[in-house]
Amino acid sequence: MIEIHDLSNCDLSVQACTKRNVAFLHIPKCAGTAVKRALVPLFAAEEICPEWTRDLHQMPPEELSRYRLFSGHFYWDLVERLPTPGIVFTFLRNPRERLLSLYYYFRCFPLDANGVLPNPAMRRARELLLGPFLAANYYSVRTDVDNVITHRLAGLKYLDSAGRLTIGDDEAVALAIEHLRSMSAFGLVDRYPESAALIRLVGVDLPSHLERANDLASLRETSSFELVETQAIDEETEAEIHRCTRLDQRVYEWACFEFERRSRVLAGAPGSAPP
């Protein structure tokens, strides 16, 4: 696996996706749908693993070995068991923005022909205002809102059956940062062009511009999605937002600092131009 910290070992030319396997850890509401759409044309259809949830762990190794692209809502544990993943990357987003985006996405998601929503958390989002939704003691809600960046990067094995951490906060944050650091690269949604330039260095030819997908602005242009009004945030709701993002904020602050360092290295790398 190429380490982005050592840019001297990278081919600084823009290249097509290498013959190595690629694993994209899609953290919900971090531009993952748009990134996956950009990845799919780089692979033959039979090279793309169809499983995008944590059910990936049920696939036997011989079946996994048939694929080159793995993209989904994975925890770190699943990435570790992939056959020689080669290139591993993810995208992060400001935790508060991610959380609010998730809630309003759930709240405006359309009912199917039978008047049913596909996700129990979506049903709760329709029923509850933001504060009570974040405070709801339901597994389906907790696994989507409670410090999701940290939990996904640390690993599913550190969560109990109720979706709560079985290790201390500091240890969870340290593990998340350790795993993020060990990836081939990572990007920040708010700095996509620079992120794409860094990820291209490790062999994934992401475009310089990403078509928007599943964000509120684009969803409002889709007739099947309902228009929802944003809610005023009172002190109690603010406290719930803080509780649900307190660990993620620490991971994100480290990621922003490290991303800035890597961007400066790229800007000064021989033969490269500033992103």
Mean confidence (pLDDT) of the chain: 86
The domain made up of 7-268 has a fold known as Rossmann fold (3.40.50)
pTM: 0.87
230 vs 93, residue with greater confidence:
93
Distance (Å, whole) CA 32 – CA 96: 17
Query: Over the stretch 202-228, which tens digit does the pLDDT of each residue have?
Result: 999 999 988 766 565 655 565 566 778
Question: What number is the average pLDDT over the span 226-238?
Answer: 90
Query: Over the stretch 109-144, which tens digit does the pLDDT of each residue have?
Result: 887 767 778 889 999 999 999 999 999 999 989 999
Which alpha helices (DSSP H) does the chain contain, by range?
Answer: 32-39, 61-64, 76-80, 95-108, 120-127, 130-135, 139-145, 148-154, 169-182, 192-201, 216-219, 235-268
By the 8 A CB rule, do 28 and 102 touch?
Answer: yes
Helix (H, G, I), strand (E, B) or coil at 163: coil
Query: Over the stretch 137-185, which tens digit does the pLDDT of each residue have?
Result: 999 899 999 999 999 999 999 999 999 999 999 999 999 999 999 999 9
